[in-house]
Amino acid sequence: MKIQQLSLFLENAPGHLATPCAVLADAGFNILTLTLADTQGFGILRLILREWEPAQRILEKSGFVVKVTDVVAVQVEDRPGGLRKLLQIVEQAGVNIEYMYAFTVRCGGKAIMVFRLDHTDQGIAALLGSGARVLSATELYALAG
Amino acid sequence: MSLKWNDHNGCFHPDSAFDFLPGEQLRALQLQRLRATVERTYSNVEFMRKRMDAHGVRPEQLRTLDDIRRLPFTDKIDLRDTYPYGLFACPMSEVVRLHASSGTTGKPIVVGYTQGDMETWKNVILRSLAATGMHRGDILQNAYGYGLFTGGLGLHYGAEALGATVIPISGGNSDRQIMIMRDFGVTAISCTPSYFIHLIEHGASMGVDLKTLPLRIGVFGAEPWTEEMRCFIQREANIRAFDIYGLSEIIGPGVGIECTCQNGLHIFEDHFLFEILDPKTGAPVPDGEEGELVLTTLSKQAMPILRYRTHDITRVIPEQCDCGRSIRRIARISRRSDDMLIIRGVNVFPSQIEAALLKVEQTLPHYQIIVRREREMDEMEIRIEVTAEVFSDRVSEIERIAKRLSHAVESTTGIRAKISLVEPQTIQRSEGKARRVLDLRKLDEQKNPL
């Protein structure tokens, strides 16, 4: 149920975000979603894409430092309290959320939450046990169309 | 005198015998050669004759080796001022080779060699390589630059004379370096230590682990390096790494070498007389104390050099080496008197920064020190390339490493530095010497001469 996310180190300076995007575009890879964690000096670009394995190779060949991180993608009910329910499940399982971000997919405008957890397997078990809709890689890429 | 022959594996080269000359004989030989050198210089080099006259010293006043202190110093500026042939002590018809420095500022410095000088150079390189345990049968990849730079051609003839198989690959083209190292069964390599570290990384990116190759000896020089770099190289390439010392002004590589004891560099004292002096006062420091290395050539004919200020900081190791060589050793040169940065009044050496970075990261990251003056205050920034080993997906983790780096630098140098983590391959690489320090204060002063 884990999704592989690519994380890249970037300097926080003009033009530094464009290069990895150009590398992926030239290779013909479509980015499903991305988020940027930034500080004054540097940023971490986190990417989810179907072709993460060749993408990692190409990015490393272009000189980037790339880490593969396991994250969990959960479909969230698009109504008040939808997110809170998910957070409660994770919290009650004693699992810590290192970071999270949300995006919507093309098909049916569904909202997806991406979680990076300190204990990924434990978190997935708790979410599944509470009936949350945890997406496998295949399901996630299918939703994205 | 006890000699340990076992480190030569029965491959002792007869030319190495001079390494073991009894002290008394060595001093006598040095004095005889020093007198001849000074006489030759005085008679044949107008520039030096005038300088010695101005100093009130004549060649016949040299009665003991200590009398060398009466002689004036020579500095790099003198080689520039006499460009190109002003320090030559023989007619050009006797000069068979010219080399020149890369000359980053203005005119290069030019050095010349007679046929006899070429023999001397070959001799000291042969003895250098033999001291590292290299012998006939070794295949040496000579990755020092061939051309005006003394490194490539200097190593070349001495290695051939030793009987090694020389691959004159010169510097650059790392793909080809790795391919040849693997395909030709290379057992020894010579280049700058920073270029070899680059080759270790480059080999890894090509799927070639240097540890698995027959490579066993590395002869590294032409730039200061540290014990930490040696450990890194020896571990990552599974070789023994030896420091070779030299400078074009004196002869090129081959002034000194580490033997297999790897504890200081033996200076070929039969050809080079060394002094360790206080860089400020020019007075000798007590044995074992740090000072500036000052060198006098004893055998050079085309371009004898008297009391050359190397600006390299070292100390003599007075004890006899375990290898049995009687020629004395100096400690590894990890800094230069003109390499020193004065930041907010504190002396900082790039080697200190390097040691601090290695302590935190275990491996040597590519880094650059940048010094600026902002609002009358010196600011030191250290740009460090992020490696796969330290990169984490978590912001807090990266910030923690940056803090540890900052703390290590501050505790080693006493100066708080701004640590900037940068993407890989963004700090300029040179195939030869690494440009580790960018002192922008000097540039600013030039722009605003007040």
A41 — pLDDT class (breaks 50, 70, 90): confident
CA distance A58 to chain B (A): 13
pLDDT tens readout for residues A10-23: 998 888 999 999 99
Q: What per-residue confidence (pLDDT) applies to A145?
A: 65
- Taking an 8 Å Cβ-Cβ cutoff, which residues of chain B contact chain A? 386-388, 391-395, 398-399, 402, 420-426
What totals of helices (H) and strands (E) does chain B contain, helices first?
11, 21
Q: Which residue of A has its CA nearest to B389?
A: A65
Tell me the chain B residues in contact with residue A5 when contact means C-beta distances shorter than 8 Å: 393
Q: What per-residue confidence (pLDDT) applies to B389?
A: 84
Dig out the tokens for A61 from the structure. 């060949």
Tell me the chain A residues in contact with residue B423 when contact means C-beta distances shorter than 8 Å: 9-11, 16, 63-65
**In this structure, what are the phi and psi dihedrals at residue B209, rounded to the nearest 5 degrees?**
-90, 115
Angle subtended by helix axes A52-61 and A18-27, to nearest 10: 120
- Between CA B206 and CA B88 the distance in angstroms is 48
Q: What per-residue confidence (pLDDT) applies to B443?
A: 53
Q: Which residue of A has its CA nearest to B390?
A: A65
| Mean of pLDDT over chain B | 90
Residue B4 has pLDDT above 90, yes or no: no
Provide the residue ranges of all domains of chain B, joining segments of one domain with +.
1-336, 341-447
Structural domains of chain A, ranges and CATH numbers in brackets? 2-69 (3.30.2130.10), 70-144 (3.30.2130.10)
Contact between A3 and A114 (Cβ < 8 Å): yes
pLDDT tens readout for residues B207-259: 999 999 999 999 999 877 888 889 999 999 999 999 999 999 999 999 999 99
- Between CA B15 and CA B443 the distance in angstroms is 49
User: Which CATH class name applies to B341-447?
Assistant: alpha beta
Residue B7 has pLDDT above 80, yes or no: no
Which of B206, B266, B193, B205 is closest to B234 using CA atoms? B193
Q: What per-residue confidence (pLDDT) applies to B106?
A: 59
Give CA separation, B75 vs A103, B128, B250, B414, in Å: 68, 26, 11, 32
A46–B423: do the CB atoms touch at under 8 Å? no
A41–B421: do the CB atoms touch at under 8 Å? yes
The verdict on pTM exceeding 0.80 is no
pLDDT tens readout for residues B370-415: 999 877 778 899 999 998 888 999 999 999 999 999 999 998 888 8
A7–B426: do the CB atoms touch at under 8 Å? no
**The residue type at B89:** A
- Name which of B393, B399, B405, B418 to mutate to probe chain A: the one with the most chain A Cβ atoms within 10 A of its Cβ: B393
Residue B86 has pLDDT above 60, yes or no: yes
Judge whether A13 is closer than 8 Å to chain B, CB to CB: no
**In this structure, what are the phi and psi dihedrals at residue A101, rounded to the nearest 5 degrees?**
-155, 160
pLDDT tens readout for residues B12-31: 899 999 999 999 999 999 99
Give CA separation, B356 vs A43, B290, B351, B389, B417, in Å: 25, 21, 9, 17, 12
- Between CA B440 and CA B450 the distance in angstroms is 17
Which of B8, B13, B29, B14 is closest to B327 using CA atoms? B29
What number is the ipTM of this complex?
0.84
Distance linking the first and last C-alpha atoms of chain A:
19
Q: What per-residue confidence (pLDDT) applies to B6?
A: 41
Judge whether A116 is closer than 8 Å to chain B, CB to CB: yes
Q: What per-residue confidence (pLDDT) applies to B169?
A: 97
Of the CATH numbers 3.40.50.12780, 3.55.50.30, 3.20.20.140, 3.40.50.920, which one belongs to the domain with range B1-336? 3.40.50.12780
